[in-house]
Amino acid sequence: MGLHSTYGLTRIINARGPYTPLGVSRSGEGVATAVAAALSEFFVMAELQDVADRALARFAGAEAGTVVHCTASAITLAVAATMTGESAERIAALPDTAGMPRAVVLPAGHAVDYGHSITQAVRLAGAVPVAVGTEEAYTLEDLENGLSRPDVACLLLVSSRLVRGAGAELSEAVAVAHRHGVPVVVDGAAQDFRVDQLLRTGADLVTVSGQKYLGSPTAGLVVGRADPVAAVRAQERGIGRAMKASKEAVVGVLAALEARHGLDMEAWKKQQADKVADFVARAGALRGVTAAPVSDPTGLPFERARLTVDPAVSRMDAAALESALRSGSPSIWVMPGGRPGAEEVLLELVPLTPAEIDAVLVRLAELLPT
Ligand SMILES: *Cc1c(COP(=O)(O)O)cnc(C)c1O
């Protein structure tokens, strides 16, 4: 906690998940050591990037991979790649898209906001987002209609708990796009555990954040077919200049991939399940709330703890509990995203230490009636 005292910063307990405004994630020791070593070295950056690109492709089981600044930029650059291919002229022209396909079709409910709207990441490349269907649902027919325009660059799909509305299986949507000869970009920023599944949908490019569950420094990972990945990397001579991965990020990604490779997934899953079960048992014993484990809607391999508040007993609703947790010291951040209209908060315990979990329970006990 040295930096917090040095700079007078708020101490926090992050039960909100890999959230950018809170610093996203904790990197492990291997990543921290590798990053520190990288900072004082020079590299032939193209060579370093080649090594990381190959490691990333192996990790994902993809033909190819590359590292850019973050996933927001990975989305912009993936869209750019579908408009320019490896044409140096087109790459230099962006964001001027004269003479290029420029429509990016996406289901309306996939126009997620992760701090800004994903449609702005699309527009940043010079492309034009075209939403199909409604917030509530989209059908394959909606997609067919959107994709039959003459100027489509790609179909953009999102795999995230932020996605709204019902729709087709991703693989069905990908198949429709491919029947139209349109490439598909899938944004799975927090889906590093499921990147192989996202590739199996047939997507041409999948974007993932290095700094979310993988625990690297901020980095956007792009994996998929060799040609479009090469076209993403080629953007470094164009708009990608402003979205480049730093040497410490690339080295950090390599270390994070090694750490993930060495992770005993079954043991890790059991550890997460035990942590949630223990928290739910202890929180459930408090008055004014009930607690239950809930699985992740996208299929991430861990559960979260859901607290359902009974305002008649606790004398506060879920929003008041959330704000009371946040205004204490340390400031405890929980996840919104309980079911609509329900008095619920979610807690993601993945990066928390046992001492932090104890501190959350102590604070809950102080706030709730005895
Ligand atoms: C976090 C997130 C992003 C942005 O990722 P960064 O690496 O922070 O730029 C994009 N899409 C979704 C669905 C996300 O959850």
CATH number at 95 reads: 3.40.640.10
Q: Report CA(71)–ligand 1 centroid distance (Å).
A: 5
Look at residue 200 in the predicted model and tell me its pLDDT: 98
State if residue 184 touches ligand 1 by the CB under 6 angstroms criterion: no
As given in the structure block, the two tokens for residue 124 are 């940043």
203 and 122 in a single domain? The answer is yes
67-95, pLDDT tens digit by residue? Answer: 999 999 999 999 999 999 999 999 999 99
233 and 343 in a single domain? The answer is no
The domain boundary, picked from 198, 228, 261, lies at: 261
330 preceded by cis ω (within 30°)?
A: yes
State if residue 221 touches ligand 1 by the CB under 6 angstroms criterion: no
Can you state the percent helix, strand and coil of the chain, rounding each to 5? 45, 20, 35
State if residue 70 touches ligand 1 by the CB under 6 angstroms criterion: yes
State if residue 220 touches ligand 1 by the CB under 6 angstroms criterion: yes
Q: Residue 294 pLDDT more than 80?
A: yes
192 and 318 in a single domain? The answer is no
Look at residue 352 in the predicted model and tell me its pLDDT: 98
Look at residue 229 in the predicted model and tell me its pLDDT: 98
**Pair 108, 126: CB distance under 8 Å:** no
Q: Residue 337 pLDDT more than 90?
A: no
CA-nearest residue, atom 2 of ligand 1: 189
State if residue 187 touches ligand 1 by the CB under 6 angstroms criterion: yes
State if residue 158 touches ligand 1 by the CB under 6 angstroms criterion: yes
257 and 146 in a single domain? The answer is yes
Q: Is residue 74 part of a domain?
A: yes
241-259, pLDDT tens digit by residue? Answer: 999 999 999 999 999 999 9
271 and 359 in a single domain? The answer is yes
pLDDT-based confidence at 316, cuts 50/70/90?
very high
CATH number at 353 reads: 3.90.1150.180
Q: Is residue 269 part of a domain?
A: yes
Q: Is residue 313 part of a domain?
A: yes
Q: Report CA(245)–ligand 1 centroid distance (Å).
A: 16
Q: Is residue 29 part of a domain?
A: no
Structure letter (DSSP) for residue 210: S
153 and 291 in a single domain? The answer is no
72 and 188 in a single domain? The answer is yes
Q: Is residue 232 part of a domain?
A: yes
- pLDDT (average), residues 266-273: 98
295 and 239 in a single domain? The answer is no
CA-nearest residue, atom 5 of ligand 1: 71
Instruction: Please tell me the distance from the alpha carbon of residue 235 to that of residue 229, in angstroms, as a whole number.
Output: 10
109 and 66 in a single domain? The answer is yes
Q: Is residue 128 part of a domain?
A: yes
Mutational test site, ligand 1, from 19, 20, 194, max ligand atoms within 8 Å of CB: 20
Q: Is residue 161 part of a domain?
A: yes
Q: Which atom of ligand 1 is nearest to the CA of 210?
A: 7
80 and 144 in a single domain? The answer is yes
CA-nearest residue, atom 15 of ligand 1: 189
239 and 283 in a single domain? The answer is no
Q: Report CA(119)–ligand 1 centroid distance (Å).
A: 12
166 and 289 in a single domain? The answer is no
Please, where are the H alpha helices in the chain? Answer: 2-7, 29-39, 45-60, 71-84, 88-93, 118-123, 140-147, 170-179, 195-200, 226-233, 247-261, 265-284, 311-314, 318-327, 354-367
Whole-number percent of the chain with pLDDT over 70: 100
Q: Is residue 83 part of a domain?
A: yes
CA-nearest residue, atom 11 of ligand 1: 189
Q: Report CA(240)–ligand 1 centroid distance (Å).
A: 17
The domain boundary, picked from 261, 285, 307, lies at: 261
The number of folded domains in the chain is 2
Look at residue 1 in the predicted model and tell me its pLDDT: 58
- pLDDT (average), residues 336-353: 90
The domain boundary, picked from 261, 285, 301, lies at: 261
Structural domain boundaries, residue 183: 42-261
The chain-wide mean pLDDT, for the chain, equals 97
pLDDT-based confidence at 340, cuts 50/70/90?
confident
As given in the structure block, the two tokens for residue 319 are 């929003």
Given the structure tokens 């022209």, which residue do they identify? 93
